[in-house]
Chain A
Amino acid sequence: MTALLSARGLKLAFGGVKAADGIDLDVGAGEFLAIIGPNGAGKTTFINMTTGYLRPQAGAILYDGRPILGLAPRRLVTLGIGRSFQLPQLFGEHSVAENLALAIAAREGFWSPFRPLMRPVWRDEADEVLARFGILDLSETRADALNEGARKLVDIAVAVALRPRLILMDEPTSGVAGADKMAIVETLVRVLRDAGVTAVFVEHDMEVVGRFADRVAVWAQGRIAALGPPDEVLADPAVRRDVIGIDPGEDVHAAA
């Protein structure tokens, strides 16, 4: 498996807090990598460094073999790196379809004042993306009227509409109501796999991790404490005690 994303020795401290303390990680093309770990471990920081929001004090990040540190988010998008946010970032005054159309326009030509945002081709593509996510019925809803779960999905749909090769998702399922969660994750994973997108996602639900991740990276105090297939990593007694917070021996799925 060739690495699409490689991090080497990333370090970043905020005052005394080491949010990244020597991160080495390779993510293969087509892989689904889950990041787990307690709050404050530096998971969001890793995503922010990879997407150009934060600049590490040391280390390197290679995407598709080329160094990308120092490139603005705007440039990284054009290289095919997409992200969704821990707090979804939608344009509240616009409808869901318009939010997607803005992403499509950003890809296809944003600058002509004579092309309407809701021109048929963009509209249709927006609807097509929403249909893939199974949320076509939300098309006309104003983004600030969505519930938390829908907001997360639309946020990811916007990222997907930009046609990324790599997507980084910060807690895509937090805030999604319990009963719908698995169905939503299944849809999400299907859409991303169908599109051949490589995914890195921060996740707290071990059942989701166990079912959908190819590998799991365990973050602890700015370092990767464990890395491997979910069944191995989630069975590791130290991980179970420190990260999942259950006694070794208990069934993994019982925690969810």
Chain B
Amino acid sequence: MKFSYNWIRELVEDLDCSPAALEKLITMKTAECEGIERSGELLERACAARVESVEPIPGSHNVKAAVDAGRYGRVTVVCGAPNCRVGIVTAYAPVGKKVIDGIESDGMLASGAELGVNRDHAGIIEIDSQVGAPLAGCLPDSVLEIDNKSITHRPDLWGHLGMAREVAAILGRKLKDPVRLDLLPEGPAAVDIQIEDLTLCPRYSALVFDNVTVRPSPLWLQSRMTAIGLNPINNIVDMTNFIMAELAQPMHAFDADLLHGDTIFIRPAAPGERYVALNDEEYTLNPANLVIADAAGAIALGGVIGGQRSAIGEKTRRVVLESANFQASSIRKTSSAIKLRTDASMRFEKAQDPANTIRGLARAIELLHEIAPGMRLVGGVADQMREIPPPPPIRLPLDWLERKLGRSIEPAEVRRILESLEFGVAQPEPRVFSVTVPSWRATKDVSIKDDLVEEVGRMVGYDSIAPTAPLVAAAVPPGNPERAFQHQVRGIFADQGFTEVYNYSFIGEEDARAFGFDPAAHVRVSNPIASDQVLLRMSLLPGIRKNILENSKHRESFRLFEIGVEIHRRAEGLPDEIPHLMAVLYDRQGDGAAGLAEIRRAAECLMPGAQASPAEARPYEHPVRSAAILWRGETVGRAFELHPSLVESGRAAVLDLDLRLVRALSAGDLKYAPIRRYPSSAFDLSVVAAPRECVGDLQSAMASFAGPLLDSIEFVRQYSGPPLEAGQKSVSFRLTVGSPERTLSSEEAGEIRARIIDGMRARGYELRL
């Protein structure tokens, strides 16, 4: 929202604060100011001038003009405007001498756009003024840009008067209300208003004007509109925009001669009702949209945009001027449903003050007298409204206010601040105020005592509050074991050489299919930004694979990992978000075997004693290089080689762990076991097995025969080749046996060994002794 400094100065008595100082005050006490723009700088020195003669310049589209520039004397100006002709009265600006087309040009003749008066840059401006006179009512201005987000809760700040009230309160000046309600005509109105639902439209006021001449606005009005970023259109439309920008009251003018009947209906749209708006778009409406209608149909989409059928044009003579109030949420719904936000809808959705409708009409009367001379009022004010009882006063205990702010403040100071913002203040009991909220703050903004803390706090200045440590009981905060565990996992994997990545929670349907996931099983985003961000990931793998493909362009080998949630749909309630670790080890060289071994070793750093056992490969896994990871009796994840068709440049070993399971198994108290006092004895055994027989299976079979005195069994090596037959391998283990109570005799150790040999032979294994 742009605010004109000149405009604010008109509304605040004796405003002597520079725009830059004002910007700072507003930012600190009211709303965030994002900067100041200068507007119409040329106007400072510009004056009306007449072109006396024009000579063409050979080989140039410019002309050489002799100009009577009033107090600047007679000057020669090189001008490129097509309308530079003898006799034209235009604006001259003394911007210095410069040689153009070989001719010394002294100053310039300016277009409306160059002057900042309007947006016309087709030619130099044509004005109706005394030569040498300044451009009436047009002054350079400073425009303060206020961040819209910082005023969403302040309906009153969507107009200059609201901001001027803040400025007056901040500086202790008087506010000048530009509205003269005494201008409103008495008597029966020339139009009837019928509001179907007074909740959706709490108030609708209108006035009829006759003998209107539609034409460009005077320059002062055009330049005012231009300064705050609005496009001057004609005197009637500019007038409605002016009032909107001043009072935050959006208005709309209908050409009365284009309306059917004398009644204006405010009603829900009929299902499928079609409506062509001023922006030339046709909208198909439904009963959730509120329309303004005449006997023949919709003439405006209430509070959002006017209709083409009744638009003001050159031929307009009679005008119905609407000044209405609409329910904020209804406007917001309609405007977002049809994806159209207008200056009007933006204001109405902040909950405007219903008391403002007739104030807008009163201001319009005053303006129209000036900008549409000859205009006549027809009838009195048409005004339909719901009785809106004033909100009850707010009880403000001053001790509570001080506690909340964390500083003391004199009651007189509180009163002064609230009254400067036009709150009513009474004191029904000691140290308690009863505060009445002005209508323009009462629609949504201020309703509870906490809201008044802000009014007092910002005006007294938050910088007057000294930071203070609270007096609270010392307590150890509740822990977050899941997060602590994830941090621990991060540390372990980083120590093992893996670098952490963060990937998006989104994947595309194509991503899902590439891995054999069913897109329909995923949680789906209804309004995705892009087609590759439609689904929420049920696996970290699609993101990790992208990381592999990207980084393999620059690196021979690398390790990376991510900790993130898999999002799984549930029949009811929010999805299940399961924290996972996915670590990957990529190598362009080699056959991938070393990578898989290394990733299992990394897994063991997190889970000592974890084992891997062959698992049926999933579509994205190497068909014979896939294993389940088991720890403490539970399957906690998988280790596999990514299917070589998914990463063609090298081999990628992947570890995928369900961290919720791993953490559950990590918990539990450790207890010390005494160190063995008696020596143990060790012996080696080698088993002959088929090539794809797993070492782990052989090992657990041997352990099962060994009995309780087995201390450990370790894989030593495996071997194939002579003297073994083809299709055989020999796997060697070292077994250690012992007892916590005594030293085993060699006979006892021998018995265990024999038991294992017999057991294995019974299973059909040959042992090499």
Q: Do A and B bind each other?
A: no
B residues engaging A (CB < 8 A)?
none
